[in-house]
Amino acid sequence: MLWDKGAGEKLLQMDILQTIGYSLLFSAILWLFNKKAFFPVLTAIGVLDIIHIFYKIDISNVFFKFFFKPELSPFPFFPWSLYFIVGVLSSKYLKKKSDLLLIFSVVLCSIQIFISGVHAERIADIGKILFLFEMCKRFCTTVPPKMRAFMRASRESLFLYVSHIMIVYGSVLSRGLSFYIGENLSFSEFLVVFITMSVMLYFIAYYINMIREENFSLFLLIKNSLYLIFLLNFFKRPW
C-alpha cells in the first residue's frame, strides 16, 4: 500500500549520503566475505563508473534505476562512487611517492581547460584527488606539535561531512537548520551559523577520535548506540 503511494520509490532514491553509505556497506560486506576479490571487484565497479560517465547506462528496474539516474539529486551511486573507489585503490597501490603519478594527475586536471562538458569535469575531479593524495604523501608525513589537535579532528572527516549535512538538511531525528532558519541568510547570519557549527563539530570530532584511540570499546559502544537510535527512528517513520 505504501509502495503504491510512491513511498517505496522515495526510499530507494539516491543522494550523496546514500552513495557514501552504499559504497561503505558494499565494501565492508565484500571485505568480510571475500578479501581476495575486494580490490578486483572495486576496480570493476570503478570501470563501470567510468563507462557510465561517457555512455549513460539506462536501467528501468525499480530497485536499481536510482543507482544510475540523478532524479533526487545529481549524485547517484554511478558514477559518484568512483571517487570512493579511487581513494581505496590509491591507498592500496599508490602508497609510495611517484613523480609520474603527480604529472599524470596534473594532466587529468588540465583536461577541463581544453575540453568542456560533464565528462571532462569528472575526469578532472579524479586528477584533483590523485594530486592531493600525492601532495599528502610528500608534505603530510610529519605533523608539527601545534597542529596535532587539528589533525586529531581531521581524522574524523567522514563524521564531519555526514553530520554537517544532517544538521543543515535534517535527518530521521529532526528537521534541519534549512527548515528553521531558511536557506537564504545574510552574510552576518551565515557567519554566525558557520562559526558555531565549525567549532561544535570540531570539538565533537576531536573527542570522538580521542575516544577511538584511547578506549576503542567505548568508541564502539557509542557508535553502535547511535546507529541503533537512527535505525529505530527510521523504522518508526521510514517514508
* Percent of the chain whose predicted confidence (pLDDT) is above 70: 91
**If you average pLDDT over residues 171-177, what whole number do you get?**
85
pLDDT at 99 over 70: yes
> 185 and 193 in contact (C-beta within 8 Å)?
yes
| Angstrom distance (rounded) from CA 43 to CA 228 | 32
176 vs 55 pLDDT, higher one: 176
6: left (phi over 0), alpha (psi -120 to 50) or beta: left
170 beta partners? 175
pLDDT at 91: 83
pLDDT at 4 over 80: no
Terminal-to-terminal C-alpha distance of the chain: 12
| Angstrom distance (rounded) from CA 13 to CA 67 | 8
Task: Give every CB contact of residue 133 below 8 A, 6+ residues apart in sequence.
Answer: 87, 90, 94
pLDDT at 87: 86
Angle at 69 between CA 113 and CA 40, to 5 degrees: 75
Would the CA dihedral through 186, 191, 197, 200 be positive or negative? negative
What does pTM read for this prediction? 0.74
Q: Which residue reads 575531479 in cell numbers?
A: 125
Count how many residues are written for the chain. Answer: 239
pLDDT at 212: 92
Of all helices (H) and strands (E), which one includes residue 75? none
| Angstrom distance (rounded) from CA 14 to CA 33 | 26
